[in-house]
């Protein structure tokens, strides 16, 4: 008679902790990247109320053609196709996505030399 091999019990607590740690890391990365994006575009020169108002207006905007224009402008910024109104060019190459921690980062900003 063959003995049934016992399966090792799963450590659900350890798996849950690992998932929570990963979610926290992803959230922290997103926050850091958003901050870097604000700086790279020159939007850090705006006061916080103006920046928040502009972002809220974009979120509430329902006109598809206006959103598409904003999307194209953002894509051009990342491709290096133009400079923003502050006269600073893009400081990143989004096409060169980096693989880190098994995750693909959408863009990587370099610190400015100013």
For 45-67, give one letter per residue: b (16+ CB within 10 A) or e: eeeeeeeeeeeeeeeeeeeeeee
The answer to whether position 51 is within a domain reads: yes
Q: Is residue 20 part of a domain?
A: no
DSSP lists the bridge partners of residue 1 as none
Within a domain: residue 90?
no
Model's pTM, two decimal places? 0.57
Phi/psi for 41 (5° steps) reads -85, -10
Convert the pLDDT of each residue in 5-54 to its tens digit: 788 888 999 999 999 999 999 999 999 999 999 999 999 999 999 999 99
Task: Give yes or no for residue 3 having a pLDDT over 60.
Answer: yes
User: What tokens appear for 1 in the block?
Assistant: 């008679």
Residue 44 inside a domain? The answer is yes
In a domain, 64, yes or no: yes
Q: Is residue 71 part of a domain?
A: yes
* Residue found by looking up tokens 């870097």 in the block: 36
């Amino acid at each position: 008679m063959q003995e049934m091999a016992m399966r090792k019990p799963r450590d659900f607590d350890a798996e849950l902790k690992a998932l929570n740690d990963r979610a926290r890391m992803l959230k922290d990365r997103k926050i850091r990247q958003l901050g870097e994006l604000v700086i790279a575009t020159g939007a850090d020169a705006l006061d916080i109320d103006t920046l928040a108002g502009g972002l809220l207006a974009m979120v509430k905007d329902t006109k598809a053609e206006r959103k598409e224009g904003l999307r194209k402008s953002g894509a051009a910024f990342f491709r290096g196709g133009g400079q923003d109104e502050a006269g600073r060019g893009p400081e990143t190459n989004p096409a060169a996505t980096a693989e880190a921690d098994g995750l693909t980062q959408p863009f990587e900003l370099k610190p400015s030399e100013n």
